[in-house]
Structure formats: structure tokens, C-alpha cells
Amino acid sequence: MDKKQLILNAAMRLFVEQGFHDTPTSKIAKEAGIANGTLFYFFPTKDDLVKALYIDLKTQMGGCVAESISGEMELKEILRGFYKTSLTWAMEHRPEFAFLEQFNNSPYARKIANAEMDIHTRPLLSLLQKGIDDGLLKSLDVDLIYAIVSGHTFGVNKYLSGKTFSQTEAIQVMDETFELIWKLITP
């Protein structure tokens, strides 16, 4: 594993365990088994490290989600694919998803450039906007519909993480909660 990835892995573990504020870069370097100077070579500031980790994890998750859908699917099935794949990824990558949730609820979320955030949200926002334009989704602001879908995704992940489910039971929860979300956003 390369040094940059060692730093990202160590940072993710420590940020999830101790929070952003209580995790100094020296501790990340030690956990990664590299010198402080090496960490700063790749990430000049702690802010740069936090943002790079967010982008890395969103890219990983987005790749999994993109593989689960096809442009030939109906809107409902595409959204179901986004939802279920996001939750499945979250269950298989609990620390990573915990970091994403922590990031989204931190001041760091406001520090990342809109262009960088758009890369990860644009496909879903475009899909939702098309659904609104075609009359398949409620005529609401696209950002509101996105907030409803993503908020429920985080909430259902917390629910699934807080209990023990078989894979069949977890899929049933995902299917049932997706239907609830679908009813919220459709006319």
C-alpha cells in the first residue's frame, strides 16, 4: 500500500474514533507509520487531509452506486438502486460511512468547494430534476428532494447499524423504507 493511502486509512480510523478536533496530524502520521514530513508532503494541512479523505470515500461509494444502475432503468428503479447500494455500501464500510456522516455534519462540509461537492451529487440531482420536469416526482425544489432522500439514507443506516439483521431482513428494511421515501417524493 502506498504512503498516501496509509495516511488516508489511518486518518479515517482516527477521525471516526476521536473526531476531527481531537486527532492531531502527528498521531495520524504515527498510526500510518510514516514521518510527519511525509504526511505534510501529501497533505499540506489537516484541512487538506480531511477534504481529500472525503473525496476519496465519496468516489469509492459513488463508483459502487454507479455500477448498480443502468440508464435503461425506470426512474423508480434507478433511485432504488442508488438508495439500496448506498445502504449496502454503508453496512459493508461502516467506518467509512461514519466518516462521511461526521464530515457532512461538520464545518468541513462548508469548506469544500461546491465544484468538488457537485461531482458527487450532480448525477443524482440531475436525475431528480429530470423526474420533477417529467412530472414523475413532486414539483419541489430538487435540493429538498435530495435532502429527503439523503436524510432518510443516513437515518436508515443508523437504524440498520444499531440492530442485528440477517441479509434478508436488511434488504426487506431497505425495500420497505424505499417505498416510504418514494411515496414522499411522488405526486
Whether residues 30 and 92 fall in one domain: no
Q: Are 93 and 85 in contact (CB under 8 A)?
A: no
What CATH number has the domain bearing residue 19? Answer: 1.10.10.60
Q: Are 8 and 22 in contact (CB under 8 A)?
A: no
Is 111 a residue whose pLDDT tops 80? no
Does the pTM of the predicted model rise above 0.85? no
Whether residues 20 and 61 fall in one domain: no
Q: Which helix H or strand E contains 23, and what residues bound it? A: none
Q: Report the number of secondary-structure helices (H) and strands (E) in the chain.
A: 10, 0
Range of the structural domain that residue 35 is part of: 1-44
Query: For residue 61, what pLDDT is reported?
Result: 87
Whether residues 21 and 67 fall in one domain: no
Whether residues 86 and 170 fall in one domain: yes
Whether residues 107 and 124 fall in one domain: yes
Separation of alpha carbons 40 and 129, rounded Å:
41
Separation of alpha carbons 55 and 105, rounded Å:
15
The number of distinct structural domains making up the chain is 2
Whether residues 64 and 20 fall in one domain: no
Question: Residues 153-176: pLDDT tens digits?
Answer: 989 999 999 989 999 999 999 999
Whether residues 24 and 115 fall in one domain: no
What CATH number has the domain bearing residue 95? Answer: 1.10.357.10
